[in-house]
Amino acid sequence: MKLVRSLGLISVSALALGVLSFSIANAVRNDSIIDPLDEWGIAVSPATIDTTFVPGGTVTETFRVRNVGSNTGTIKIGVSPLEFEGQSYEREINEQTPRTEITRWTTLSLQPGCTVSDVDENGSLYTNFGYKEECFVDVIINAPLDAPNGSQHMQVYFQEYKETEGEGMRQIKAIGGNVWATNANDANDFATKGCVNIKEHNIPFWTFEAPFKNNALVENCGDLDFYAVIGVDIKNIFGGEAYSDIKYETENGVQQTMVKDPSEQRKIVLAETTRRLENEWKEASIGIYSVTQTIMVGDQEYSATKLAILAPLWMLILIILLVLMIAFWIYTKVRGHKKNKDK
């Protein structure tokens, strides 16, 4: 009798868990509060500049910055160690390191058409930014003769200010353009100077609903940046193709693994950092699958295959209840057989 009550309690708890999970999954957020200062905003392009430098030489790159809002204001333009908020890096890299020495070699200049209203002690520029105005900002990198080997990282940031009644100049927000620069003496020598370590292939065993998400933890243990691509090849329990964002091409008799959407799947892993690369199958359906995840870095491939189940929570609860019922049935049969034997 105690066993029956225990099973009943487990069943009720499992059902309550299912209802709670459904409620959380369908919670509605209220993001309707809008700051009127958001009408002032800027856009920067390109988002990233990937370049090389020669020790003792000068490189000039350019960002285009535009006022895409409906108000005017002031922007501060400066350089800082690269920040990667929201980019799935394992550690903060917005602090000065040997990889961000480039910030000391860099000066900024506005092209004709935009006027510098002030320059601070750090070389940051201030300019009044008119309605729908655009400026071109030159980033001048003067690499010293003793510039270190490997890659350097920095961010050119654009800090928005707005004059508000009674508050003076109010800082609103900042956006940045990333600069990745590599010593030209090393740029084409990744085979001997690069270092890749796949610390984790994370393929979840059970997913309750689409999309089916998976990820990998990729370590750059060298001093050269590299681009990595994550892709999956998913087969059902009968071996049929369920989904793949990988394609295979044969060139000179050698099969090459490629991805179908390089612009979406190709991510940079900066020197001496660890980055989590993410992948998803958006239209995943209920089933049991064999998932092969592949990380590609240049001509190197790192793969892992795991079993994965995609089924809703209620199905998991049903399976648990079914297992408990079978266990209880076996228990009663064994107990009944034992009683008959003792008679």
122-158 pLDDT per residue, tens: 899 999 888 788 999 999 999 999 999 999 999 999 9
DSSP state at residue 38: G
**211 prior amide bond cis, ω within 30:** yes
Task: Collapse the DSSP code of 276 into the 3-class scheme (helix H, G, I; strand E, B; otherwise coil) and give the result.
Answer: strand
**Alpha-carbon gap, residue 300 to 198, rounded angstroms:** 12
pLDDT band at 297 (very low <50, low <70, confident <90, very high): very high
pTM for the model stands at 0.74
**Position 56 pLDDT exceeds 80:** yes
Nearest by Cα to 231 from 276, 266, 274: 266
Whether the predicted pLDDT of 333 surpasses 60: yes
* Region at 280 (left for phi over 0; alpha for psi -120 to 50; beta for the rest): beta
Range from 3-12, 47-56, 165-174 carrying the lowest mean pLDDT? 3-12
What pLDDT sits at residue 335? 76
State the pLDDT at residue 57: 97
Task: Report how far residue 283's alpha carbon sits from residue 291's, in angstroms, rounded to the nearest whole number.
Answer: 15
Mean pLDDT for the chain overall: 81
Write down all domains in the chain, each with its CATH number in brackets. 36-188 (2.60.40.10), 191-313 (2.60.40.10)
pLDDT for the residue 171: 65
Here the tokens at position 214 are 């998976």
Higher per-residue confidence, 89 vs 306: 306
Question: What are 137's two structure tokens?
Answer: 């900002």
Report whether 273 contacts 90 (CB < 8 A): yes
Q: What is the pLDDT of residue 71?
A: 76
| Amino acid letter, residue 178 | N
Residue 333 or 255, more confident: 333
Q: How many CB atoms lie within 10 A of CB 276?
A: 17
